[in-house]
Amino acid sequence: KTLDQMHISLEQEARGRAEALKMKKKLEGDVVELEMALDAANKAHAEAQNQIRRLQENLKDLQISLDRERRAKEEAQELYAQSERKCIALHNELDQTRTLLELSDRKCRNLENELGEMNELNAELNGMNAALSNSKRKLEGEHQILKSDLDEALNEIKLLDDKCKKAIMDAARLADELREEQEHAQQEEKMRKALDEQVKELAVRLEEA
């Protein structure tokens, strides 16, 4: 009976050792899998950090471009204001010239009744009229040129404004992407820490086994 008990005890001990060995192998396999998962998490974390740096650089470049576009817009607005002031001044000068021309025409018509006595004065007035007509044509031509320049300046301002709006939208989109990448990196860091803890626990369990 004692031998049977010893035999049973030895069998139980052998089964216990086999179970312990099996559990140890399983734990070792789990450790390998966790280490592989930890390595993958570390790689993903590094990639996320690289992506964050690239996004930060893109955001910086975009901000520089946005500042440059804003400065160009301000310069174009100043040029537009100068052109507008010059256009107003020329318009006023054109009105004055037209008024002078009208006065000259009326005076010429009045002097036609005294043509016999005022031939010399009439010739002088005709010369003045021709000069004023030339001045009118010149001012009208300059006015048309300035109007074209003004239209071009308005179109350029509109294009610059569209570029500024697009740059602002791109900056907002990049900021959102940067925030998402940072949140993803934080989640990856939490997962990495959790995997570290699991590896430590499994290592302790292996030592105890």
Q: What is the pLDDT of residues 4-60, one digit of tens each?
A: 666 667 777 777 777 778 887 888 787 888 888 888 888 888 888 888 888 888 889
Q: What is d(CA 182, CA 2) in angstroms, rounded to the nearest whole number?
A: 69
**C-alpha dihedral, 4 to 8 to 9 to 11, nearest 10°:** 140
Portion of the chain with pLDDT greater than 90, in percent: 0
- Cα angle value 36/41/46 (rounded, 5°): 125
Sign of the torsion formed by the C-alpha atoms of 27, 29, 32 and 38: negative
Question: Is-contact 136 98, C-beta < 8 A?
Answer: yes
Q: Does residue 111 carry a pLDDT above 70?
A: no
Read off the pLDDT of each residue in 97-106 and give the average, rounded to a whole number: 82
Q: Does residue 69 carry a pLDDT above 70?
A: yes
Domain residue ranges in the chain: 2-208
Q: What is d(CA 24, CA 95) in angstroms, rounded to the nearest whole number?
A: 103
Classified by CATH at the fold level, domain 2-208 comes out as: Helix Hairpins (1.10.287)
Read off the pLDDT of each residue in 60-69 and give the average, rounded to a whole number: 88
Going by C-beta distance under 8 Å and a sequence separation of 6 or more, which residues neighbour residue 203? 31
Read off the pLDDT of each residue in 168-181 and give the average, rounded to a whole number: 85
Quickly count helices (H) and strands (E) in the chain. Answer: 2, 0
Going by C-beta distance under 8 Å and a sequence separation of 6 or more, which residues neighbour residue 164? 66, 69, 70, 73
CA distances for 96 relative to 90, 136, 185, angstroms: 10, 10, 72
Find, among 150, 155, 151, 152, the residue nearest to 87 by Cα.
150
Q: Which amino acid is at 21?
A: L
Question: Is-contact 90 142, C-beta < 8 A?
Answer: yes
Q: What is d(CA 21, CA 6) in angstroms, rounded to the nearest whole number?
A: 22
Structure tokens at 93: 């000068």
Q: What is d(CA 83, CA 37) in angstroms, rounded to the nearest whole number?
A: 67
pTM over 0.75: no
